[in-house]
Structure 1
Amino acid sequence: MINVSFGPNIFLGIIVSIGVLILYFLRNVKPEVARDEDIFFATIGFLYSCILMVHGWRLDPILLFSQVLIIITVLVAGWENIRLRGLIANMAKVKNKKKS
């Protein structure tokens, strides 16, 4: 049974989809920061967001709260990971500049 109605599950699914699209298009914006496994995680995240949007109406309040906490944790950890990748890329660029 597929029952799609607008609720907090759609909002969470859209947030995850936006985060996944940012991760996916990072390869076009900053290729020195992107990694090959980002495509895998983007695909899994997109699948997760679709499942959350379609079947999220079944979530009772405590399960919805747990999904909110998981999504916040994953997005913050992903943001920090990408930021650290950028710092490492900048450090490597400065090191190569000093070397030559």
Structure 2
Amino acid sequence: MSVIVELSLFPMDKGQSVAAHVARAVGVIRQSGLPHQLTPMGTCIEGEWDEVMAVVDACFKAVAADSERVYLTVKADWRKGRSAGLTGKTASVERVLAGEGGA
């Protein structure tokens, strides 16, 4: 797997609580079968570029289906030959914090 994408999206026309709309997008991500991690401010997805971007597109369409305006941010970290980046990147930082070194 070579890309980790952090996706954050929500409708801007549905009031203060948008959990149901966000859950719709997270459901799309879960159905994709790709490794992912839900966070309070977004969801990280890992996989090959084309398959991850297809999931991002499907998430957008799921939220936009009944919205007039959608806020969307996408950050991507592509690295050739990487695998298990979702866990590896954070584990590396935790090792450094524990004084074990690492990079």
Normalising to structure 2: TM-score of the pair? 0.34
**Greater share of residues in strand:** 2
| TM-score, length-scaled by structure 1 | 0.35
Q: Which structure has the bigger radius of gyration?
A: 1
Query: Higher helix share goes to which structure?
Result: 1
